[in-house]
Chains A and B, each alone.
Chain A
Amino acid sequence: MSPWLRLHAMALADAWRRVAGQPLASAVAMAVIALAVALPVLAYVIVGNATRAAGSFDADPHINVFLALDATDEDARRVEAALKARPESAAVRFIPRGKALEELKASSHLADLLAQLDRNPLPHAFSVRMKTRDAERLSAVRADWLTLPRVDQVSADFEWAEKLSRATRFAQRAVAGLIAILAAAVLLVVGHLIRLQVVTQREEIALSQLVGATAADVRRPFLYHGVLQGMAGGALALGVAAMGVSWLDLELQALTSSYGADLKITFLTMPEGVVIVGSVVLLALAGAWLSVSRELRRFAAAA
């Protein structure tokens, strides 16, 4: 083994002895890191799932046009031509009343009820994707289309989409803020833990420096100590967050199955998990580094 590799192996062994030598303090630090990390991870997972769910709705503004129940196919063709003629229309989709009924039967629990009806309760309809998001122009178009012959209702369902996308942006920002605050907490927790270690080993550090230890030699075992704490805390955090998610998921399953929907919370992907644990390790490393450097400067000033 090269001396360089041996120095690192010895520093790691030293760090492990320090962790194992004070199981209570190590466990408390690990738990604090885990809680500080689990909270934003949980928020990240929930907001990520909510954003994905929101994204599965078409966020482009749509205007739905419903014809009168007794409107004929001929009427529908005339209305379609009028809708397409508007410059604001991007795409016009015709939903014949027969097809609308089939879809409703397939996608809901109302099949039994619908089967009892002697006639189709649904009208012909159009779903028009709009080119503009401008609320004033959209409502002008809506008012115009209401006056078309045989048109019964015009609904513009773009406002909620706009609101939804604003809400998800807000949630993402809140998570980012949470991450920043709790990252600082991890930095401080590890920094404090390492500072206590450095202070109790002050005599040994001073002697080591006298007999030839460089600043890097002194720092090394403490950095490994920080890394070990970070790894343990990060891994535990993922465990805690996974438990939290599966507990929430159970409730969500019970809730959504009664609506006939099947929503499932997806947890982190493997790369996301690696990035999170890696970030915690880096934070712990930074906390240890800052702490050791600060204490060494204080020793030097006191000497």
Chain B
Amino acid sequence: MIQFSAVAKRYAGGHEALQDVSCEVMAGELVVVTGPSGAGKSTFLKLASGIERATRGSVVVNGQNLSSLGETALAVLRRNIGFVFQDHKLLFDRSAWDNVALPLRIAGASRDETGRRVRAALDKVGLLGREKAMPVTLSGGEQQRLCIARAIVNRPAILVADEPTGNLDAASARAVLDLFLSFNRVGVTVLLSTHDEAAAAPLGGRHLAIASGRLAAGAP
């Protein structure tokens, strides 16, 4: 589903975030990327979901080599990958409903379809009653789940989450991880990162450890 071959990423400032990373994530797999802060986990996830481009090597997602795609094709590819951002990236001047509906608006979905899918996504994360709420009135755990609802509203084949349990208490973290497990159970490829390996242990799945921009263990 996702193949990294000798991938390197160097940022404009000269910082080498990833070096010589090769690995493969199979369809329907659940992969946990672990490692200390600044090891390159976020970069790995952004490259895997077409948000950023590799400096060297190739990233192939769903059979498409991302480095050969133009900006427009890359944007369209991102519609089929749900991304849960570390900092949520919710629009605070929009209701919960509008936040979740954004990806559907971009894709030009009809009103009926948008209504159906937004309701289904909010229902899945347990926020169906809060659709009119503004994000500031939601708790940290609820904001995280709203962000997940937005990521799954397009029914993507791949779901990527960057530190989804980062700032949550144990109970909320558990609820969020259970959500990812339930998506994985119905066939969604799930890729998530955490700096707290112990918290991610109950998830199972394969663990990829990244340290100083290099893959440490668990690859192919």
Contacts and interface: CB of A to CB of B under 8 A. Distances in A.
Interface of A: 1, 3-4, 6-7, 10, 203-204, 207-217
Contacts of A209: 75
Nearest to B50: A212
7 contacts: A1-B110, A7-B108, A207-B91, A210-B85, A211-B106, A214-B71, A217-B75
A170 B33 CA distance: 75
B110 A211 contact: no
Q: What 6 A-B pairs have minimum CB-CB distances, sorted nearest first?
A: A212-B79, A3-B108, A7-B108, A212-B78, A214-B75, A214-B72
B150 interface: yes
A217 B78 CA distance: 14
B187 to A, nearest CB: 21
Contacts of B103: 211-212
A4 B75 CA distance: 16
B108 A213 contact: no
User: What DSSP secondary structure best describes chain A's contact surface?
Assistant: helix
Interface in B106-155: 106-110, 150, 154
B106 to A, nearest CB: 5
Given A203-B91, A204-B91, A216-B72, A211 B108 contact: no
B2 interface: no
B118 to A, nearest CB: 14
Nearest to A1: B110
User: What DSSP secondary structure best describes chain B's contact surface?
Assistant: helix
Given A212-B78, A214-B72, A10 B108 contact: yes
Given A211-B83, A211-B103, A211-B150, 12 more contacts: A3-B108, A4-B108, A6-B108, A203-B91, A210-B78, A210-B85, A211-B102, A211-B106, A212-B103, A213-B106, A214-B72, A215-B75
A217 B108 CA distance: 10
Given A210-B78, A211-B79, A10 B91 contact: no
A6 B77 CA distance: 20
B89 A210 contact: yes
B27 interface: no
Contacts of B216: none
B105 interface: yes
B107 A212 contact: yes
B51 to A, nearest CB: 6
Given A6-B110, A217-B106, A211 B78 contact: yes
Contacts of B85: 210
A207 B106 contact: no
Contacts of A207: 89, 91, 102
Nearest to B94: A204
A217 B106 CA distance: 7
A210 B50 CA distance: 9
Interface string B82-97: 0101000101000000
A217 B150 CA distance: 18
Contacts of A203: 91
Contacts of A7: 108
Given A209-B75, A212-B78, A3 B89 contact: no
A7 B105 CA distance: 8
Contacts of B108: 3-4, 6-7, 10
Nearest to B73: A214
B76 interface: yes
Contacts of B105: 10
Contacts of B91: 203-204, 207
Contacts of A204: 91
Given A204-B91, A215-B72, A216-B72, A210 B106 contact: no
A3 B111 CA distance: 11
Contacts of A215: 71-72, 75
A11 to B, nearest CB: 10
Nearest to B153: A211
A213 B77 CA distance: 10
Contacts of B150: 211
Contacts of A4: 108
Given A207-B89, A214-B71, A3 B102 contact: no
Q: Which of A7, A207, A212, A215 has the most CB of B within 10 A?
A: A212
A203 B108 CA distance: 20
